[in-house]
Amino acid sequence: MSLTVVGSIAFDSVRTPFGERERMLGGSAVHFALAASFFTEVRVVGPVGDDFTDEHVAVLAERGVITDDIERVPGGETFFWRGHYEYDMNVAHTDETELNVFGGFEPKLSEESRSAEMLFLGNIQPQLQREVRASCDGPRFAALDSMNLWIENDREALIAAIGEVDCVVLNDAEVRMLTDQPNLARAARQLMEMGPRVVVAKQGEYGAALFTESGFFAIPGYPLEDVRDPTGAGDSFAGGFLGYLDGCDRADGAAVDESALRQAMAYGSALASFNVEDFGTDRVRRLTPDEIEERLQDFRRMTQFDVAPAEAK
């Protein structure tokens, strides 16, 4: 079992109605890796500058994440994002972005990272996603994330990248935007026609929807009373989702099936729900496997119901 994630490693400064933090450890690859590390061996690939210290590396190493492929750029500064949230915590407002070393990122993967059984291509330039995918002959299951920037400005390359993976993980607005379809179910079907056999539409606090060739599944968001910082929730969802899939006991090399995908949706939602309970990586860093299983049981109770037969009239 092994999982490689390629994406951003960042410092985030975030303000929400419930507090404010400066230069927290963040980035798509970090949130993904921490969540996935509860289920499998994770290798993280991304660039950092001189301001990224051993203390920051330790956050990942403490969870067993393999950091050998983190590229240190001498004289550079790590990607920085500043943003804020108002009371609609589903909407992030960007106040400042400094790409720094991430602007010239050219992923360099070790042989171990290239041969991992699963691959997640974080929200990076689509052509880079394609190059990484082409260099990796080990994955039996590959997934990617993207954003409206690439949909608007690099659509053809993104569609090509989508055609080369097994799974796409986007938010529901991005699925509609990419396909020019207002109906999510139709949009997902159209997206699958581009190549992937699995489409996951993230829906923020409302949960997530899974579309496959054989069916549809949806899981609600966990009803939290204390949401402090949603930054990285989508990446934590993806980490829980892919991490669980890779950690499943499939010694015979069997393909990812419908049952595993549905279970993975629940684990992804559980990890996302923990992520938002505190700022940055703080909540996931102190998370325990027992807490994850307890929340998974909550999801089972939330989604279980009995259907009484209708009375004939």
3-state secondary structure of 205: helix
Read off the pLDDT band of 12 (50, 70, 90): very high
- Give the residue extent of every domain in the chain: 3-303
What DSSP assignment string belongs to 213-275? Answer: TTEEEEEPPP--S-----TTHHHHHHHHHHHHHHHS--TT-PPP-HHHHHHHHHHHHHHHHHH
Dmax over CA atoms of the chain, in Å, equals 78
pLDDT recorded at residue 239: 98
| pLDDT beyond 90 at 195 | yes
pLDDT tens digit sequence for 102-140: 999 999 999 999 999 999 999 999 999 999 999 998 899
What sign results for the dihedral spanned by CA atoms 29, 33, 36, 39? positive
**Percent of the chain having pLDDT more than 90?**
88
pLDDT, one tens digit per residue, over 146-192 is 999 999 999 999 999 999 999 999 999 999 999 999 999 999 999 99
Fold for the domain defined by 3-303: UDP-N-acetylmuramoyl-L-alanine:D-glutamate ligase (3.40.1190)
User: Residue 237: what are its φ and ψ, rounded to 5°?
Assistant: -60, -50
pLDDT exceeds cutoff 80 at 62: yes
Predicted local confidence at residue 301, as pLDDT: 92
How far the first Cα of the chain sits from its last, in Å, is 56
Q: For all residues of the chain together, what is the average pLDDT?
A: 94
Most confidently modeled range among 64-68, 84-88, 308-312:
64-68
Cβ atoms of 171 and 123 closer than 8 Å: no
User: What pLDDT is recorded for position 254?
Assistant: 58
For residue 221, give the nearest of 188, 181, 266 by alpha carbon.
266
Residue 39 has pLDDT above 70, yes or no: yes
Distance separating alpha carbons of residues 203 and 96, to the nearest angstrom: 25
Token duo for residue 7: 């994406």
Structure confidence by residue, pLDDT tens digits, 251-308:
445 568 999 999 999 999 999 999 999 999 999 999 999 999 999 999 999 988 776 7
Structure confidence at residue 167 (pLDDT): 97
How many CA atoms within 13 Å lie on the side-chain side of 157? Answer: 15
What's the token pair of residue 300? 């089972």
CA 231 to chain centre: 12
Question: pLDDT: is 38 or 255 the higher one?
Answer: 38
Residue pair 192/211 in contact (Cβ under 8 Å)? The answer is yes
> With 70 as the cut, is the pLDDT of residue 313 above it?
no
What pLDDT, on a 0 to 100 scale, did the predictor assign at position 89? 87
The per-residue pLDDT for range 24-33, each reduced to its tens digit, is: 999 999 999 9
In the predicted structure, residue 65 carries a pLDDT above the cut 70: yes
